[in-house]
Amino acid sequence: MNDIAYFKDQFEQLQEADPKGTIAGLRQSGFDSFSKAGVPTFHDEDWKYTNVSSLFDKEYPIAGLSGVTLADVDAVRLPGSELANELVFVNGRFVAGLSNIRSGISDLIVLPLEVAATGAYKDLVAAQLDHSSNYLSDGIHALNTSFICGGVFIHVLKGKEPKHPVYFYHILDTRQHPSLAQPRSLVLVDESSRLQLTETYATLGPSDSFNNQVMEIVVKENAFVEYYKIQNDTANASQVNTTHIRQIGRSYVHTVTLTLNGAIVRNNMNLVLDANGNETHLYGLYLLKGKSHADNHTLIDNLKPNCFSNQLYKGIADDASTAVFNGRIMVQPDAQKTNAYQSNKNILLSDNATINTKPQLEIFADDVKCSHGCTVGQLDEEALFYLRARGIPKESAEVLLLEAFAADIVEQIKPEVLRSYVAKLIYEHLAIQ
């Protein structure tokens, strides 16, 4: 049995230290939900294929000071960092001393979430923070909400296109004991502004880490958001990673989620299309080896008419890995003229690997065009033979074909520095047998 009772003490400790205001209220309702819902099991339709009980069979200490140094951060930095706004999180809490904010405050404002919740952004935070709980009612999401502390608030100002992209480095320090990080952030992309945001993850030390993250992004009229998630952490690193994006004005969102390594990785990518004429593109790539388990859940909720969405998730499962894709498209009664496309393509390379895929269409409006398709198959034998007939050894030929399979998604990473970095990561990842 999982022992999750100790969370109560930690929760009460946190509430005592900061008992008032919006965030304390949210934490309370989050904890109430967590107490009621508990840890999801395979009986929960949304967790049918992902067993998280192993993440709760140990006691994590409350996030506290850690010995993470600048040298540790240096090892994590992404290419292009010298021009980026770098936000460093240690065990789920924002550490200003390790971070670099390069944009001016007339372009981009970064505040501790607690500060935003009490100052000028008070009403906005109250209205937008935890909107995701309308869509995710499971205990894990509630657990993050129960422990909101040390998060950030980012505001890209109206009409601004900050030159410096935003990088999030999530460092989980397990050198002393297992680490549970529960970062929380709220991002406001204001009218006619532009944001490019990339997140990456690193676990230090030999113990297990569990990053239970929630990021909520609110996108206003005429704004443009690019969001990249790069998951290439160690084999003892797990995540439940929620990105909840609300497009409340006609806007454009483009996301790419890349999963190469990890123990259990669950991504919830929610898009709430709450304005006429939104456009959204979701891409994902998972290349799994060893015992990695990656579960991508996407949800597109079409609330208003004339929205367009396109999803393409591709993946490879090798060794004893498991890949799960669950893509849900909802078209509400008002969302006439919705165009929604979804495609999921998988390659299974080993008989010990598993692929579970479940596209879902739920349509309540009549004037819509929706389609989804998914395939599970193998590398093209013909192509493989052709390459070998030209003298390319089997292993290299396979890597070549797998790279080609992945290329559709890699191409969707718009910044050149990141794209070539990811291409290299993938090549190395595939080439190691």
Partner 1 sequence: MKEKSGTLEQAVLNEYKYGFVTDIDTDVIAKGLSEDTIRLISNKKNEPEWMLDWRLKAYNHWLKLVEPKWPNVKYPPINYQDIIYYAAPKPKKQLNSLDEADPELLATFDKLGISLNEQRRLTGVAVDVVMDSVSIATSFKKQLSEIGVIFCSISEAIQEHPELVKKYLGSVVPMTDNYFAALNSAVFTDGSFCFIPKGVRCPMELSTYFRINTENAGQFERTLIIAEEESYVSYLEGCTAPLRDENQLHAAVVELVAHTKAEIKYSTVQNWYPGDKNGLGGIYNFVTKRGMCKGDHSKISWTQVETGSAITWKYPSVILKGDHSIGEFYSVAFTNNYQQADTGTKMIHLGKNTRSRIVSKGISAGHSQNSYRGLVRAGKQATNARNYSQCDSLLLGDKCGAHTFPYIEVKNKTAIVEHEATTSKIGEDQLFYCRQRGIDAETAVALIVNGFAKEVMNQLPMEFAVEAQKLLAVSMEGSVG
Q: Site residues (CB under 8 A) for partner 1?
A: 45, 333, 336, 346, 348-351, 353-378
> Which tokens go with 320?
């004893």
Give me the amino acid identity at 32.
D
Q: What is the nearest approach in angstroms of partner 1 to the Cβ of residue 326?
A: 9
Helix 6-17 to helix 139-146 angle (10° resolution) is 30
Residue 241 carries which side chain, given as an amino acid letter?
Answer: N
Nearer to partner 1, 4 or 37 (CB): 37
Considering beta carbons, is residue 249 or 359 the nearer one to partner 1? 359
CA–CA dist 239, 257 (Å, integer)? 13
Euclidean distance between CA atoms 185 and 289, whole angstroms = 30
Q: How far is the CB of 388 from partner 1 (least distance, A)?
A: 19
Task: Identify which of residues 101 and 320 has a Cβ nearer to partner 1 in the complex.
Answer: 320
Closer CB to partner 1, residue 116 or residue 264?
A: 264
Tally: H helices and E strands in the chain: 9, 20
Q: Which is nearer to partner 1, 82 or 362 (CB)?
A: 362
What's the rounded Cα separation, in Å, for the pair 409 and 155? 28
Nearest distance from C-beta of residue 214 to partner 1, angstroms: 26
Of 276 and 350, the one with the shorter C-beta distance to partner 1 is: 350
Q: How far is the CB of 341 from partner 1 (least distance, A)?
A: 10
64 vs 207: CA distance, rounded Å: 16
Q: Which residue has the tokens 């205990």?
A: 139
Residue with Cβ nearer partner 1 (219 or 331)? 331
- Closest approach, Cβ 360 to partner 1, in A, equals 5
Taking the alpha carbons at both ends of the chain, their separation in whole angstroms is 37
Task: Give strand ranges (E) for 133-208.
Answer: 152-156, 166-173, 179-181, 184-189, 194-204
Whole-number minimum distance, CB 50 to partner 1, in Å? 13
> Do you know the residue count of the chain?
433
Chain centre to alpha carbon of residue 164: 21
In whole angstroms, how far apart are CA 112 and each of 216, 339, 428?
A: 15, 38, 37
Please give the distance of CA 126 from its chain centroid, rounded to a whole number.
Answer: 23
CB of 314 to partner 1, least distance (A): 15
Smallest distance, partner 1 to C-beta of residue 345, A = 10
Residue 20 or 43: the one with the smaller Cβ distance to partner 1 is 43
Q: What SS3 state is found at 218?
A: strand
How many other C-beta atoms can be found within 10 angstroms of the C-beta atom of residue 382?
8
Q: Which amino acid is at 73?
A: V
Residue type for position 136: L
Task: Give the position of tokens 């990785």.
Answer: 265
Between CA 394 and CA 390 the distance in angstroms is: 11
Closest distance of CB 361 from partner 1, Å: 4
Vertex 185, ends 183 and 189: CA angle to 5°? 155
DSSP state of 258: E
Nearer to partner 1, 12 or 45 (CB): 45
Min CB(165)–partner 1 separation in Å: 37
Measure Cα distances from 344 to 92, 208, 240 in Å.
31, 30, 21
Cβ at position 331, least distance to partner 1 in Å: 8
- By C-beta, is 8 or 369 nearer to partner 1? 369
**What's at 376, amino acid-wise?**
V
Nearer Cβ to partner 1, position 57 or 380? 380
